[in-house]
Amino acid sequence: MSQTNILLESGTNELELVEFFIDEADPATGRSYRGYYGVNVAKVLEIIRMPTVTQLPEIPHPSVLGAFNLRSRIIPLVDLALWLGKRMDATKGETKVIVSEFNRMISAFMVSGVTRIHRLSWTQVEPPGKHLNTYSGNSVTGVVRFEDRILLVLDMEKILADLNPGLAMKIEDTALAEIKETRKPVKKEQFRALISDDSTSIRKMIGTMLEKAGFEVTQTVNGQEAWDTLQALKRKAEAENRVLTDFVDILVSDIEMPVMDGHNLTKRVKDDPVLKALPVILFSSLITDRLRHKGESVGADDQVSKPNITELTKRAFELIAERQGITL
């Protein structure tokens, strides 16, 4: 199965999920339990049979089985069941490998099997509850309910960061100092940013970075909450006969979010006669060369790939400066 890009339009608040399963072996009872999971089609390059794997000299994580050659590219292979703390039942199904690209990296994940692709609205994806977050170690970003099963949407970025801590989002003091120097020509007493991301840890990290750079930050957990916040700010500006930039200077949004995604949020902003002047930065692991056109089609002013939080902050000031006719 290869990536087909069935969804050609952006901003429709739809997504496609590849449904796969992991058969978990229970050594105590000898039984097998099948768990169903999902990953955004936009992150999937292709699905292949189990390749010949070469072990690595040093294993960075027990779940990394090694690497394999796929059309002259050496790709690391992760036993997803092992990362989830399970033991895959090799007697069930036909093992498949999901080759994916996100955070500008290509990785592969071994699973028990793949069932189908679901075309859904983000309104059908429920945010994981507090207890599910706790029990899953915050590795689930969404839940989809079907009549006979529950599908868990996995946080693939968290998995990748866990396997390679060097890829985790971090605030660099040197870069922050340079950004503060760069922003000096932008004349404004207080900058205000609205951010939208369903990941608590990433949302806090973005907020901390922007606050240290001189922003007052409002955080929202999905596109719907961000849209409602913008509508309220627009009404307040109109009621007080003030400009919108008195309340918000820039919007930073993830793309993959339950209820309303970042593409749909961006499209709504750019279709609004008042809000359309607000700079929008999409900050997502889905910002790749083959997917960048989706953000461009809905009018995003810029797109920055996670976890490059330094570049995000720099571009935020540059976009605000452009509105003031300043070149940084």
Q: Provide the percentage of residues in the chain whose pLDDT is more than 90.
A: 58
pLDDT band per the 50, 70, 90 thresholds, residue 122 = very high
Report the CATH superfamily, name and number, of domain 169-323.
Response regulator (3.40.50.2300)
Q: How far apart are CA 221 and CA 226, in angstroms?
A: 8
**Averaged over 290-299, what is the pLDDT?**
91
Degrees, nearest 5: CA angle 150-200-204: 170
For the purposes of burial, counting CB atoms within 10 Å of the CB of 119, is it exposed (0-12), middle (13-18) or buried (19 or more)? Answer: exposed
Over 90: is that where the pLDDT of 20 sits? yes
SS3 225: helix
Give the pLDDT of residue 90: 76
**Tokens read off for 220:** 């929202």
Confidence of residue 183 (pLDDT cuts 50, 70, 90): low
pLDDT at 328: 53
pLDDT at 5: 45
Mean pLDDT score, 19-38: 87
pLDDT at 30 over 80: no
- pLDDT-wise least confident of 14-23, 114-123, 130-139, 174-183: 174-183
The residue ranges of every structural domain in the chain are: 14-165, 169-323
* pLDDT given at position 168: 64
The rounded distance, in Å, linking the Cα atoms of 33 and 24 is 5
220 pLDDT above the threshold of 70: yes
User: Measured between alpha carbons, how far is 15 from 22 in angstroms, rounded to an integer?
Assistant: 22
14-165 to CATH, choices 2.60.40.10, 3.30.1280.10, 2.40.50.180, 3.30.70.100 = 2.40.50.180
pLDDT-derived band at 85 (thresholds 50, 70, 90) equals confident
Q: Reading across the β-sheet that carries 250-253, which strands appear in turn?
A: 215-220, 191-196, 250-253, 280-284, 302-305
Tokens of 307: 């976890």
